[in-house]
Each structure stands twice: as C-alpha cells, then as structure tokens.
C-alpha cells in the first residue's frame, strides 16, 4: 500500500514553508488545494529528485499534474520500427536513432532486462503512461465527525472506532506524544481526523450525540401551531417594559431598579386571536449578551424607538442582533403622545439602517403607539399576529421536551430555580432532564403568573424547580429517558469543565513574578460577585473586567448566584477582595463578619452604579502624582555660620512667600544644585513660619551648606494629584 504524504510534511523535509511548496507545485501544474493535500509516493519521489535542479520545465508530466490546456499537435512521437536486414549470417544490429519522446521520470521507463533481449526486439514497447493520481478529497467534502473540543485520546479512538494504541502511534507520527487519558487540543484533533478521512465538527457540550439519539424525529402529522415568541428590544428608557405592562395590564416597571430592566423577563399573553409569548430584554449597554440571547430565541422582534429620542446606540445594537438572527423586525414608535414629536424623523433614521417603512416601498412594518396612554396597542398586536401567521410556526408537542434556559437563580427557600422557554415537546412534572452541567427531575412548574401547572408545551415560558445547581443562562434544556442518563451526562460535563478551568488558570512563574516585582507598577483589585440571577452575574463580571487597564488589573475570584453569605466574606478576607452584591441581600451574620474581617461589602441595584464605584476603587490603587506649586523666590545676599554650626543663607524675598517646612531648590547660574526641605526660617533672631515679599531672612536647607551670593532659592509645595484610569 502506498504511503500518503501531505504537503506540509514534504515542505518540512525540503526545509520550505507550506505556502512556498504549494506555489511551486501549482507552477508545475500539480493539483493541490492546501497544505493538507495528499501526494502519492511517485509524486513525492519525483519532487524530491527535481528539487534543487535549475531547469524545471513546465511541460514535464508528473503524477497528479493537470494536463496542459492546449496539447501540442505539431510533433507526434511515433515509435521507431526496426526492420530486420536481408538473410545474412548473424547481421550486425543496425543502430536506428530513437525519435524524440516526452521526458518521463525514470521510474516510468521500463528498461530492457539484458542486452540480448534488446537485440531480439522487433518493435520497442510504447512508452508507459504515468499512473493517474486521484486527487485527495477536499476537507469540506469529508464526512463530519462530532467530537468535543478537548476530547481525550481514548474518547477520540472510541469515536473513530479504532484502538487507542493505533491512535497513539498516529499521534507519534505527527510529533505529538500523548497518553490514553490526555486531552487533545482542537488543532491536533483536526489533523488527526483528516488522517482517518473525517472532518472535525466541534461538539459544544458532551453528550449531544446521545441526546440526539434520545430525541424523536418529528412526523408531519404531529406538528401543531405554537404561540409566537416575540422579543421586545430597544434603547434604555424607550418604553419597552411600559409597552409590555400595557399589553399585560401589569406594572412590572414599577418593580425594576431605576425603571430599567435588569434581566430578561418572559411572559405569555392570552389574546382573542391566540397566545403570544413576550421576552423583555434590558436596554442599557452592559447587557449586550442578554439582548443577543433574546434575539436567538425569538420569532419576531419588536423594536421600540422613542419618538422624542430617536435611534440610539442600543437601538442600533438591537437591529444588528435581530438581523444576525435573521428575525423579522416590527418597529414600534413609542411616546407619540408627547407634544412636538414627529415620526417622520424616526422613519428617516431607521431607513439609514435598511429598515424602510412599507409606505416608502420597503418591507418594515411600523406601528405608532403610546404605551402610557394605551394608544395603538391593539393595532400592534394585530400586526404581530399577522407576521406570526405568515411564518407558519409549528412544533411537535408529543415528543420529549426541549428548550432553553432564559434565566436562573438560587432561591433560599426553593433552591435552584430556572426560567425556561419550551421550544418543542411537552414538559411535565416528574420528567428527568439535563441542562448544561446540571441535571434533575422536575419537582414543580410555575407559569409567568406564579401559578403551579402540571405541564408546558411549545412556546410557553415556565419556572422550573428541581435542578441540582444553578445553570447558566442560555444553556440548552432537554428531557431524557432516565435519571441515570441525565446524571451521567451532567457529571461528565462537570468533569470536562473543571479540567478546562484548570487549564485556563495562569500559574505564577519566577519569570513573570520577577517581572512584576521589578516593574512595581501592576496593581490588582480582587472582587467577589453575587447576583440574583446567573445572567446578571455574568454581565456584571464582564462589565467590571472590561475596565481593567495595564496599570490596574481587576480579577473576579468568585462569581455566584444567591445572597451574600459568611463564606463569601471569609473568602474575601483571605484573598484581600471586596464583595459586590447585585439585587441581593446579606444573610444573617454577614454584617458582623464583615466588620470583624474588615471586608468591604457593597450592594447595588443598578449595574452602572457598581461599575462607577469599582472604577473609583481601582483609581485609588494607583500611586498619586505630585505637582510642584511655587510659593516664593528669594535672592541669597550672603552666607554666614551660626554658633550651632549651621550655615544660613542671608536672603531677601523677591516674590511670593517663603514657608518653613516647604521644599526649595538652590539655583546657581541656571543650574539646580540642591533640592531639600526648609528646616529653619529666621527673621533677625526669631523663628518665623513665613516671610513675605521684600523682607530679609535667614534660610537653612537640609543637607546643603555651600551658599554663595547671587544664588536663588525657589520655594514650592508638593500637591498630590490622583491618577485616573
């Protein structure tokens, strides 16, 4: 069997880069697509033999070489025919000149076995054509094989259906030495799978293939209409929650800190023409991730724009998220009841982002509303239902439930609680499930009004109890056949996550430790974050880490959900960190523990207040700058020695004031001779605190005695200036 050699391996042998070798091969019209292309033995041998020769004719045919576009027909090489001479005893062989024939690699020319056989030949054999080399299959055409991004050698062998020892040998051939339990990085896995004829497809979470087998295929007759999922997006304070309050006849906004939505809220509204599920996303800049998640879960986006404010940064961001998710957008121009507002300006601004109104010949539906005065709400709902009807949304409600975690939190009385959006199937009390690295069995289900329900179908948001821990917002949720399978998948995922976290940890080495000590400028502020829901905790962590600079580094040593406990305070004390709580409260005993351990515990309800306070704390870690503020100037007239042995500069104050205890410079001929503290300031025989302009005095500077007439003493004070990030 021929051994296949890849282009990058041959380039390494020839001491070339892969790019250079690919270029040379294309010049020789050998068909290769990338550094991963496979070359046959004959081609490799030919290239190795030709490499280094000065004359590389492009017309040479090599295995794998593409045929010339226009074949030369002028000269046709015919095999020579040797005609035997008339009957004579043992005639001398007549030397017939051979015709010109294409130059071929030596291995393709069959030489005669002996001189005798050459003499007996009546007609030479036709030149042997080079074997046709089948080009390697392009990477994108290879069959995909799903595998975790950090699979072990044993797991990869199991997926490939080969023995682990065979895989280890193949890795050794690639220069990678690994044991059966060692995890491989993505690049190594990609090269390894190509060797076995597969293309790597990253499996985001362990067990996706197992869950895919658990999932039943949808039959057309099982598909039934489901409620549309509508996400309300827009800039902060443009009226998103007010609009939802008007639709639901509730007052959610009154409960939000500062009137600003802090995390995703999911609600279902029953309308005469059908049910609609609404997702309310935050508007201010810190919650980019939550808006993106809302766009990915939705069928229709309602973009709220205030008529008195227009298109703002978060409006543009919401448009980009909706377009990236390929979701239809309905624009709701809010606050039209305010005097002096015009909607034409808003439509013009939206047109700049390819949201052309229907009346302008575009495809964007625009509704003019007032959430506070309930104007145009019914028309907006009709437009939403019309758009949903056009989408023909259907789902299978008879299969195992599958959905997405919208938010998750740790409730003191109920444990871990998650808000879910069911995408297909029906979730029932008692179902076993797995979500992210957590698992469990459904203990209770509550709808968006807090009422207990026994089941929830597609498009319905519910609150779930019975999870082993707090999942991350955005985790996939899926019901499985048994508790055993759910536990097995979740435990394996937890183990992989723990190993990945350990690999991410930056170990302190003598090199970087000595560098930081030598520089002496890197400061670090450590924080512990506790929030009410997982999504808010993640966003707060990202927002705070974003203000790190080269001078001050911010490190989050713990990020969790739930109230602040004494354990958090003890961890902060041991790590010299501060504790930041977001819409949570300290448990009993935390206040006393914080005072005892001298730990700073801060509670916030609005995210940007937390960011500003942490920024101020980070600026406090920086060493202050000192600025010289001139106070006075004195001319030295003479120098005389006191009985105490001190040398005094007899001077006259030319401007300002000379203050005892301030700093001063001795200047002679424009050069600074000394800088020091004014230890003594005398006028005649009296010690004074200051001497004003025009007065004479005696000045003694610490560490200097060489005064001369004509010297200048410049007095100044150091003013501390705080550094900014």
Instruction: Write down the residue that tokens 């051994």 correspond to.
Output: 3
Q: Which two tokens stand for residue 289?
A: 């991730």
Q: Are the CB atoms for 8 and 36 separated by under 8 Å?
A: yes
Radius of gyration of the chain (CA): 41
Tally Cβ neighbours within 10 Å of residue 184.
23
Q: Which two tokens stand for residue 577?
A: 């960190």
Alpha carbons 656 and 717: distance in angstroms, whole number: 13
Residue 553 DSSP SS3: strand
Q: Are the CB atoms for 263 and 535 separated by under 8 Å?
A: yes
Identify the sign of the CA torsion 147, 149, 153, 155: negative
Residue 417, strand partner residues: 409, 465
Q: Are the CB atoms for 692 and 657 separated by under 8 Å?
A: yes
Helix (H) or strand (E) holding 526: strand 523-531
Instruction: Write down the residue that tokens 């974003």 correspond to.
Output: 546
Identify the sign of the CA torsion 675, 679, 683, 685: negative
The mean pLDDT values, 10 residues at a time, for the chain of 725 residues are: 71 79 79 76 79 46 44 39 42 48 44 47 50 58 75 83 86 83 81 83 69 70 87 83 77 43 66 81 51 67 89 85 83 88 87 87 87 87 86 87 86 84 90 91 88 90 90 86 89 80 52 48 77 82 81 83 87 86 87 87 84 78 75 91 82 91 91 90 88 91 89 89 63
Q: Nearest 5°: phi and psi at 579?
A: -105, 125
Instruction: Write down the residue that tokens 């015709």 correspond to.
Output: 99
Half-sphere exposure of 216 (CA within 13 A, CB side): 18
Tally Cβ neighbours within 10 Å of residue 326.
7
Instruction: Write down the residue that tokens 């900014």 correspond to.
Output: 724
pLDDT for 398 equals 86
Alpha carbons 435 and 468: distance in angstroms, whole number: 10
Q: Measured in whole angstroms, how far is the alpha carbon of residue 358 from the centre of its chain?
A: 37
Q: Which two tokens stand for residue 692?
A: 């004003």
Sheet strand arrangement including 300-306:
265-271, 274-280, 229-234, 300-306, 329-334, 365-368
Sheet strand arrangement including 523-531:
552-561, 523-531, 577-582, 601-604
Query: Residue 243 burial (CB < 10 Å; 0-12/13-18/19+)?
Result: buried
Residue 607 DSSP SS3: helix
Q: Are the CB atoms for 385 and 273 separated by under 8 Å?
A: yes
Residue 655 DSSP SS3: strand
Q: Are the CB atoms for 210 and 439 separated by under 8 Å?
A: no
CA 527-529-531 angle, to 5 degrees, is 165
Q: What are the E-state strand segments in 196-337? A: 199-203, 223-225, 229-234, 265-271, 274-280, 300-306, 329-334
pLDDT for 66 equals 45
Alpha carbons 243 and 257: distance in angstroms, whole number: 17
Query: Residue 175 burial (CB < 10 Å; 0-12/13-18/19+)?
Result: exposed
pLDDT for 214 equals 61
Residue 158 DSSP SS3: helix
Half-sphere exposure of 645 (CA within 13 A, CB side): 1
CA 392-396-401 angle, to 5 degrees, is 130
Query: What DSSP designation does 614 have?
Result: H
Alpha carbons 344 and 349: distance in angstroms, whole number: 9
Largest CA distance in the chain: 149
Alpha carbons 454 and 447: distance in angstroms, whole number: 10
Identify the sign of the CA torsion 446, 452, 454, 456: negative
DSSP string, 391-454: HT-EEESSSB-EEEEEEEEEETTTEEEEEEEEEESBEETT-EEEETTEEEEEEEEE-TTS-EES
CA distances from residue 672 to 61, 665, 675, 676, 678 in whole angstroms, order as listed: 83, 7, 8, 11, 16
According to DSSP, the β-strands at 663-668 and 712-721 are antiparallel
What pTM value is reported for the model? Answer: 0.56
DSSP string, 101-143: -----GGGS---S-HHHHHH-SSPPPPPPPPPPPPPPPGGGSP
pLDDT for 76 equals 41
Burial 541-575 (b: 16+ CB within 10 A, else e): bebbeeeeeebbebebebebbbbbbbebbebbbee
Q: Which two tokens stand for residue 435?
A: 């979500």
Convert 16-39 into a string of H (helix), E (strand) and C (coil).
CCHHHHHHHHHHCCECCCCCCCEE
Overall size of the chain counted in residues: 725
pLDDT for 576 equals 82
According to DSSP, the β-strands at 625-641 and 712-721 are antiparallel
Alpha carbons 703 and 273: distance in angstroms, whole number: 92
| Cα-Cα end-to-end distance for the chain | 65
Residue 268's nearest CA partner among 406, 441, 442, 439 is 406
- DSSP H helices, 264-418, are 288-297, 313-324, 343-351, 377-391
Identify the sign of the CA torsion 366, 368, 370, 374: negative
Alpha carbons 708 and 673: distance in angstroms, whole number: 12
pLDDT for 440 equals 92
Q: Are the CB atoms for 272 and 312 separated by under 8 Å?
A: no
pLDDT for 212 equals 67
Alpha carbons 379 and 280: distance in angstroms, whole number: 19
CA 665-669-675 angle, to 5 degrees, is 15
């Amino acid at each position: 069997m021929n051994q296949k050699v890849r282009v990058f391996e041959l380039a390494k042998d020839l001491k070339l880069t892969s790019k250079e070798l690919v270029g040379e091969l294309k010049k020789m019209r050998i068909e290769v697509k990338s550094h991963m292309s496979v070359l046959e033995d004959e081609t490799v041998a030919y290239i190795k033999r030709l490499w280094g020769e000065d004359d590389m004719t492009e017309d040479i045919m090599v295995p794998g070489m593409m045929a010339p576009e226009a074949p030369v027909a002028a000269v046709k090489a015919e095999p020579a025919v040797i005609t035997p001479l008339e009957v004579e005893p043992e005639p001398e062989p007549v030397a017939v000149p051979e015709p010109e024939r294409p130059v071929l690699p030596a291995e393709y020319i069959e030489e005669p076995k002996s001189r005798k056989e050459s003499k007996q030949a009546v007609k030479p054999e036709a030149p042997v054509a080079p074997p046709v080399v089948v080009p390697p299959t392009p990477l994108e055409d290879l069959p995909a094989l799903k595998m975790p991004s950090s699979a072990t050698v044993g797991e990869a062998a199991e997926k490939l259906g080969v023995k682990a020892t065979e895989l280890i040998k193949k890795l050794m051939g690639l220069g990678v030495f690994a044991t059966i339990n060692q995890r491989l990085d993505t690049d190594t896995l990609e090269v390894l799978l190509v060797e076995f004829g597969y293309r790597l497809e990253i499996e985001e979470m362990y067990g996706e293939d197992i869950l895919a087998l658990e999932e039943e295929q949808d039959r057309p007759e099982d598909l039934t209409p489901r409620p549309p999922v509508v996400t309300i997006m827009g800039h902060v304070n443009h009226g998103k929650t007010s609009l939802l309050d008007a639709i639901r006849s509730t007052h959610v906004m009154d409960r939000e800190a500062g009137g600003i939505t802090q995390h995703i809220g999911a609600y279902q509204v029953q309308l005469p023409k059908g049910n609609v599920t609404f997702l309310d996303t935050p508007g201010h800049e810190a919650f980019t991730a939550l808006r993106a998640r809302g766009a990915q879960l939705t069928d229709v986006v309602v973009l709220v724009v205030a008529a008195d404010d227009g298109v703002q940064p978060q409006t543009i961001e919401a448009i980009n998220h909706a377009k990236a998710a390929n979701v239809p957008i309905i624009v709701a121009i809010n606050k039209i009841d305010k005097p002096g507002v015009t909607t034409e300006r808003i439509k013009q601004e939206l047109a700049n982002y390819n949201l052309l109104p229907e009346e302008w010949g575009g495809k964007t539906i625009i509704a003019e509303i007032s959430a506070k005065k309930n104007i145009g709400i019914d028309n907006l709902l009709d437009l939403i239902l019309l758009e949903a009807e056009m989408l023909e949304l259907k789902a299978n409600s008879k299969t195992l439930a599958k959905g997405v975690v919208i938010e998750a939190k740790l409730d003191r009385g109920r444990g871990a609680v998650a808000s879910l959006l069911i995408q297909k199937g029906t979730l029932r009390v008692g179902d076993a499930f797995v979500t992210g690295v957590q698992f469990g069995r459904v203990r209770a289900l509550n709808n968006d009004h807090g009422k207990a329900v026994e089941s929830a179908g597609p498009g319905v948001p519910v609150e779930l109890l019975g999870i082993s821990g707090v999942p991350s917002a955005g985790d996939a949720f899926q019901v499985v056949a048994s508790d055993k399978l759910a536990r097995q998948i979740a435990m394996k995922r937890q183990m992989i996550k723990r190993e990945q976290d350990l690999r991410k940890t930056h170990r302190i080495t003598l090199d970087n430790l000595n560098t930081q000590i030598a520089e002496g400028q890197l400061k670090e502020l450590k924080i512990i974050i506790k929030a009410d829901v997982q999504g808010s905790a993640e966003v707060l962590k990202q927002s705070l880490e974003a203000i790190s600079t080269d001078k001050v580094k911010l490190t989050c040593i713990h990020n969790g959900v739930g109230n602040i406990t004494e354990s958090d305070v003890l961890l902060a004390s041991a790590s010299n960190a501060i504790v930041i709580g977001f819409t949570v409260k300290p448990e009993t005993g935390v206040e006393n523990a914080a005072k005892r351990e001298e730990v700073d515990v801060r509670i916030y309800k609005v995210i940007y207040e937390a960011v500003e306070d942490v920024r101020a704390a980070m600026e406090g870690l920086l060493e202050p700058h000192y600025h010289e503020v001139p106070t006075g100037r004195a001319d030295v007239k003479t120098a005389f020695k006191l009985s105490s042995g001190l040398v005094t500069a007899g001077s006259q104050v030319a401007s300002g004031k000379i203050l005892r205890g301030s700093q001063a410079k001795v200047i002679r001929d424009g050069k600074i001779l000394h800088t020091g503290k004014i230890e003594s300031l005398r006028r005649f025989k009296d010690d004074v605190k200051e001497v004003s302009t025009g007065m004479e005095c005696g000045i003694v500077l610490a560490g200097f005695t060489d005064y001369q007439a004509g010297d200048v003493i410049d007095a100044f004070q150091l003013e501390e200036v705080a550094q900014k990030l």
